[in-house]
């Protein structure tokens, strides 16, 4: 079980998560406009690393907060979905990847609200692996926009394809977790 600080929303990890939210817009604009591939890759790397850094700091220094538990997965999902859509719009990845990611996350979000859960499900190890794999694929595709490193784009698409299939598996697992949690909440009432 996660321990959380009472009302400590102003933490370093929450600031990093907010920064991750803010990085999504310039990354998507740069991807769609096909501008500044080095800057895009750098921002995308910062986006991916910030996910690990905020969690590490929160656990290592006891800065886990209720707000962080809620914001972190939202930042991950919103960022990954938005970036995947931008990559599809720019023609860098296949449409099916963007659709599967978007529709899976939309299904999970709707299920969460329909079931009226008190908190989002915690991350699973498979979910963390899927996110890391997806971030790696995004980084390869983004770095592949740099002329000298264009050979990385194709492996990036393969990595994204594998992580997208894994996303379906993880999404199904989260649906089962939410269903179990909803039943538990119902029996507690």
Residue 3: is its pLDDT beyond 90?
no
Contact yes or no for 90/72 (Cβ under 8 A): no
| Fold of the domain built from segment(s) 12-188 | 1.20.120
Q: What is the pLDDT of residue 6?
A: 47
* Chain segment 110-141, per-residue pLDDT in tens: 998 898 887 778 788 999 899 889 999 998 99
Residues ≥6 apart with Cβ < 8 Å to 8: 63, 65
For residue 176, with 0-12 CB atoms within 10 Å meaning exposed, 13-18 middle and 19 or more buried, which class applies?
exposed
pTM equals: 0.85
HSE-up of residue 159 (Cα within 13 Å, Cβ side): 20
HSE-up of residue 32 (Cα within 13 Å, Cβ side): 12
* Chain segment 36-85, per-residue pLDDT in tens: 999 999 999 999 899 889 888 988 888 888 888 888 888 888 999 999 99
pLDDT bucket at 1, cuts 50 / 70 / 90? very low
């Amino acid at each position: 079980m996660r321990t959380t600080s009472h009302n400590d929303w102003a933490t370093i990890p929450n600031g990093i998560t907010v920064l991750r939210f803010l990085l999504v817009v310039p990354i998507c604009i740069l991807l769609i406009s096909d501008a500044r591939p080095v800057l895009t890759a750098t921002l995308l790397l910062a986006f991916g690393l910030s996910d690990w850094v905020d969690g590490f700091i929160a656990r290592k220094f006891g800065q886990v907060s209720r707000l962080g538990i809620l914001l972190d997965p939202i930042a991950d999902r919103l960022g990954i979905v938005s970036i995947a859509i931008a990559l599809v719009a720019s023609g860098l990845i296949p449409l099916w990847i963007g659709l599967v990611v978007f529709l899976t996350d939309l299904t999970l979000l709707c299920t969460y609200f329909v079931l009226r859960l008190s908190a989002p499900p915690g991350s699973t190890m498979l979910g963390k692996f899927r996110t890391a794999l997806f971030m790696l694929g995004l980084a390869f595709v983004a770095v592949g926009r740099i002329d000298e490193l264009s050979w990385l784009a194709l492996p990036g698409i393969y990595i994204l394809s594998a992580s997208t299939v894994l996303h379906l598996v993880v999404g199904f697992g989260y649906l089962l977790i939410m269903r179990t949690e909803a039943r538990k909440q119902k029996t507690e009432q």
